Structure formats: C-alpha cells, structure tokens
Amino acid sequence: MASHIVGYPRMGPKRELKFALESFWDGKSSAEDLQKVSADLRESIWKQMADTGIKYIPSNTFSYYDQMLDTTAMLGAVPPRYGWNGGEIGFDVYFSMARGNASVPAMEMTKWFDTNYHFIVPELGPDVKFSYASHKAVTEYKEAKALGVDTVPVLIGPVSYLLLSKPAKGVEKSFSLLSLLGKILPIYKEVISELKEAGASWIQFDEPTLVMDLESHKLQAFTEAYSALESTLSGLNVLIETYFADIPAEQYKTLTSLKGVNAFGFDLVRGTKTLDLIKGDFPKGKYLFAGVVDGRNIWANDLAASFSTLQTLEGIVGKDKLVVSTSCSLLHTAVDLVNETKLDKEIKSWLAFAAQKVVEVNALAKALAGQKDEEIFSANAAALASRKSSPRVTNEAVQKAAAALKGSDHRRATNVSARLDAQQKKLNLPILPTTTIGSFPQTMELRKVRREYKAKKVSEDDYVKAIKEEIRKVVKLQEEFDIDVLVHGEPERNDMVEYFGEQLSGFAFSANGWVQSYGSRCVKPPIIYGDVSRPKSMTVFWSTLAQSMTARPMKGMLTGPVTILNWSFVRNDQPRYETCYQIALAIKDEVEDLEKNGITVIQIDEAALREGLPLRKSEQAFYLDWAVHSFRITNCGVQDTTQIHTHMCYSNFNDIIQSIIDMDADVITIENSRSDEKLLSVFREGVKYGAGIGPGVYDIHSPRIPSTEEIADRINKMLAVLETNILWVNPDCGLKTRKYTEVKPALKNMVDAAKLLRTQLASAK
C-alpha cells in the first residue's frame, strides 16, 4: 500500500531558511550561502520521508517565498516595472517582486485560501510575454534524484494559477484571465517535457480552486487545459491534488473526467462530503490519493477511524489504486515534536507535527498492506482516550457563560454616528487624524531582553525597566512626529496572538512550533486544547503605563477573538464558534478593565476575520454571523465615549463589507495600499460607510519608503470616495517587521501628507 505527502514545511525545524533569507537580504551573506542552506534543508526533508517509507515524495514544494511566485517566475510573467530583460530569473528580480525595492513597490500579497499563509498575486494582461524563465522544478527533481530519491514534482496547476491572478494595473477589470490559458500551456509543456527527460514517472498538479464555487466557463477551462496537455503528459502518471474543502459534485465530475489524468487527491478531513461522491462514482482503474491525515492542525490522527475509512475506500477503488495521503501540504503545521522538550507531557501525547504526520501516513499505509504496527495504534488510542477524559479540557463555568450568550446580538446601545460625536468631544482630534496600527520595530536588543526574561536570566524588575524604556522611546518618537493617537509599540509582545494565549487558560505553547506565514515571516500558533478564560488582566499595566507618559490618547491594544481563533491550532472536539465565544468573553473582560483604568481608545484587531471565511458560499453566512457576533461581544459594554478600533489586513474585504459594517466598530483601519487600493472600489460602487475608516496609505511589508507626495496622492483618492470627517491616516499594518531607518522617514512623510491635506481642505472652504 503506497503513501504520499502533498507538501512539507520549508523553513526547517529551527527556522534555518528564515535566518538565511534575512541574512541574504541584509547583505550579510551571499546567494551561494542561501542556496547551500536551502539545499541542506531539501536533502534532509527528502531523506526523512524516504527513510520513513513514503513512496510518493514531493519536490518543488520548497520555495524562497511562495509557490505562486515560483510559478510566476517559471512563466516569465514579470511586471515591466522590475526591469527584467529575459533569461533565467535570479534573486534580484524574484525578491523585488516579493518585497519591492528602493524604486518600485512589491506585488500584491494576499491569503492563500482560508489559511494564514500568503502568496504574491500574479499581475497579468493581454500583453504579457510568457517565457520559460525559471527551471527550478526540473533542477530540484534532478537534485533529489542525485541523492537517490525519486520524487513527484509538484506544479501549481495552470487553471488555478490564472484564477488566483489579477488583471495588471491599466488592464480592464473585466479582462478574462483564462483567455491567457493558451499562452501559458506551451511553457507547462516545456517543463513537463524536461521532467520526463530527467526521468520523472509522476507529476502532481495542485488545482485547489476546484473546491470553490466555479461558473461553467471556469470549469470548462480545466477540461481544455488538460486536453491540451494530454499528449505531453503521455507516459507520466498524473495526479491532480485538491484541498481545503469538499469538492462540489460538478467539479468532481469534471475532475474525474479529465484526459491524461489518472490520479486524484482529495482532502477527506475538511472535505468529508467528498467521501459520498467517491462512494457514488469513482472512475475505474484510476488512483485515489486519500487525504486522511490533517495537514492543517496538530492533533494526532484517529488512526482507527482513518483505517476504517481507508478500508471502505479500498473496497471501492482497489488495493493497488489507493494511496494514503495528507489532506493538504504540511506547510501549514509545525515541523517536529522532537524539538518540544518543555511541552507538557500529557498535551504532547495528543499532538502530531509534520514529522509525526509522515509517520501516521506510513503507519496507515502499512496497516492496509497487512503490516499493522500494533504498538503505534495502541499508543494512539491511549492518547485519544487521555484527551477525551482529561479534566483540564473542560471548565463548566466557562461553558455556562458561553451558553448564556444565546438570545442577544450584543450591540452597543447607541448608533455609531452619535458615538463618534461623543468621542470627538472627548478626544478633540483634527480632521484626517493620524495613528499607527500597534507594533513598532522589534530590535535585536528588545528580542534579547524578552528571551532572557523568559529564560530567567534577567529579573522581572530589569525586564520591566527595559520595556518601560522602550515604550518611552516609542511614545517620544510619535510625539515628535505629531501623530494624533498613539500606540505603546508592543515591546512586551513577540506575537500578537501568542502574547494573549500565554495569559489565557486553555492554551498551550510550543518552543519551536513555527509555521511560515510569508517569505521569512514565521508565526508560532498557540494550541487551544481546552475551555478558554482570563485569570487576570493582560494589558492594563502596560497600557496605563504608556498613557501616563503622554497627554495624547493612547490606544489599548488587543487581539480579537476571531483572529486568536484563526491564528491558533484549535481544538477539534467542539465547533469552532463555541471556542470563539469563549475567547470573546475573555477579551470582553479585558476591554472593560482597560476602560475602567482610563484608556479611552481600544483597538481590537481582527486581522484574520476574512481569512476564516469558508471557501463555499453556502457556508459563509453562518461563519460571518458568529464571527461578527464574537467581535461585538468584546465591546458591547463600553461607554459611548470609549472609541473602539479594529484592524484588518491582507485579504479581499470587498465581498464582506456589509459584515464589516455590522461589526459596529467606531473606527476600522484596513490594508489598502499593497492591494493597489482595491478596497476603495467598494466605496466607489456606492457602499455607504458611516464609521471612522483608515485605509492604509503605505505598505509596511516592503522596505521602500513612500514620499509625502505619494501618500498625499493616496489620501486624495480616499477623499474622492469617503467623507473627510470619517477618514483616518495610517500605515497598512503594524511596523514590527521593519527597521527604524525605514519607519522614521515613512511616518514623518505620512504625518506631513496629512497636514498638507488639512491645509488644502481648510483653504478650499
């Protein structure tokens, strides 16, 4: 019985790739150094899978930034602003597309489906001259083969690539991206031919858009694409992989009828209804890659249940055509539990990181082949029973409080217009008030202080003194720039979700459970294993300390319940909304404590609200209802004069704008500049927004420093569609990933632009 892994984490068990990338970007190491680290990581991953017994091992899932950008490079689809003149695409052009450079901005970045992973959005149009410009897929296949590992090269499928792209600037929005299919398929043919020549016997195309709601012409594109590729694919086993949701019946029918394709991969963890389609009609003689091991979460697989499912599938497709697989790439989970020496032993027994999931896949494949490892299966059963019966999972008081939420929609008593009037009387802000999103640069010294405090190498007094000094520096800097509503810079926080999770009950933390978010950016999601509550206040000390340093309003900074949920590894033994309501009640306690202690502006970030939106339209209304309700629970009890902000970033918000309005925040700051001001189009189309709003005026994920004139131009575009009295001026997102040498001039230019516009507006009256 064969086994397969869809994809694997690329950062390394101790974030080796992250540090190599940042060293290269900072000019401290060479391209050769970066390539050496990368090659070592790939070798260890391939050999680990081979040694475990995995038959179908993926290659070309490694990336220096993301696989969509790799595909853009493969196709030579480089926007003209990067000055590429043909030939093999090197690091300069590749990283300029991802991060921008001193003279031109980066390409748009957005979320990969409903995950916290991001990708660089291709910019396409009728005039793009496609060419085979990156041979990475073939090079990595040959690299693995030289190590004695025969891999399955993985490519983003041509149809999903186009459907996830956008029309370039200056191209009509109505332009059909699928009209480019005939132009990119010749390059795919070149890649396939080279892989065949190199000795590949299998190839995997990831076509995750097949799980979406697709119009008939988009579905037809899959038929056209793979018919066109059929002769080139001849002689290869061809796997099309789907993931993240059920595949709709019409898409299933199209997929399983594709010419030249003899294997289909399905997510049977998030796509349980797909099982019914397989049972109803699966094409004879084709391979089924059954994704029964969860690639999105860190809980140990229920091996007995998975084994039972696989036995059923075996009866449908045949023993020699069933392949045990992960539900999706393991990119979305942490790397290896072996590195977790400090994690609570009982909780650790409930978990499986990527390395353990590889073992689970192999154990299931061996069991189906009649070589069941009773030791592995009995240990797994014992761990599942321990988790189910553990008293630390359940808190009756929390469950009772969450149950009592039913029957109220938890709206503030006064409408937003009246609240904004009351808040303005108290805050006395100018028009176009300026603020930042929360975090300031996290310097090496700051990280060292936090690290040493955690390791008990510095006293609490010394730690508080160091953090206090950092806050003082950030407050002074904002006052010097004349920013209107200040933040304390979050120097005590390594991560916006981890910080709160550490102070809430029901959460556990790994030491090395890092997951890639984009580029070199990694996050360490908390593990929600039980009922959630707040034992004591979490931010009041630092917020009131910061407020004491200035006469200007100081924002209390909190992470919202939906974002904490979506950026955590969430327990899978109860519905997600129940966990979210528990978190909302904990944040509500914190909001009310901040207000009691004199904080009049409180930001409750919901950066990940859009991210959790189900991929299928039929499931979206239910999610938005409980997600928006959870946010309202957090602040329903504050006074009219307390201004509630929220923040969202790096997703497409236009399709949920009514839900954003329904959140009933007083002010929302929202990413705008990197997505080429896509957000503003919703207001041009007539949506009325009555609360305060701050569409970001510059991209903080690029080292590029925007000029005063450029920011003023952005603000003018906003003023064309938004009322002057509701518009705020702020960056796209928090500043923690930037250096002070970038932040200082950017913020100065931002404030100067706001002042310039205020003067112009005053003289126009």
228-246 exposure pattern, b = at least 16 Cβ within 10 A, e = fewer: bbeebbeebbbbbbbbbbb
CB of 542 closer than 8 Å to CB of 594: no
Provide CB contacts within 8 A for 487, sequence distance 6+: 435, 436, 437, 438, 439, 440, 474, 478, 554, 555, 557
Q: Give the list of residues 6+ apart from residue 726 with CB closer than 8 angstroms, or none.
A: 420, 689, 690, 691, 692, 693
Q: Is 112 annotated as a binding residue?
A: no
Residue 437 is assigned to a ligand binding site: yes
The answer on whether 649 is annotated among ligand-binding residues is yes
Annotation-wise, does 116 bind a ligand? yes
Provide the H-helix boundaries in 150-284. Answer: 158-163, 181-198, 216-233, 249-255, 274-280
711 is in an annotated binding site: no
Token output for 99: 């991060």
Alpha-carbon radius of gyration of the chain: 26
Give strand pairing partners of 692: 667
18 is in an annotated binding site: yes
Q: Of the residues 118, 488, 629, 701, which is catalytic?
A: 701
Annotated binding residue 662: yes
Residue 46, marked binder:
no
Alpha-carbon distance values, 389 to 325, 347, 386, 574, 577 (Å): 29, 12, 5, 14, 22
Task: For residue 605, say whether it is annotated as part of any ligand binding site.
Answer: yes
Instruction: Specify the length of the chain in residues.
Output: 765
580 annotated ligand-binding residue: no
For the chain, the 3-state helix, strand and coil shares in percent, each to the nearest 5, are 45, 15, 40
Largest CA distance in the chain: 83
Residue 33: its H or E element: helix 31-52
701 labelled catalytic: yes
Surface-to-core class of residue 625, CB atoms within 10 Å of its CB (0-12 exposed, 13-18 middle, 19+ buried)? middle
Task: Confirm whether residue 392 is marked as ligand binding.
Answer: no
Say which residues have a Cβ less than 8 Å from residue 655's Cβ, sequence separation at least 6.
none
Q: Give dist(CA 710, CA 100) in Å, integer.
A: 16
- Does the annotation list 328 as a binding residue? no
Question: Is residue 636 annotated as involved in ligand binding?
Answer: no
> Does 647 count as an annotated binding residue?
yes
What phi-psi label fits residue 493: left (phi over 0), alpha (psi between -120 and 50 degrees) or beta? beta
Q: Is 484 annotated as a binding residue?
A: no
Binding site feature residues for Zn(2+): 647, 649, 662, 671, 733
Catalytic positions, written as ranges: 701
Binding site feature residues: 18, 116, 437-439, 490, 521-522, 567, 605, 647, 649, 662, 671, 733
Binding site feature residues for 5-methyltetrahydropteroyltri-L-glutamate: 18, 116, 521-522, 567
Binding site feature residues for L-methionine: 437-439, 490, 605
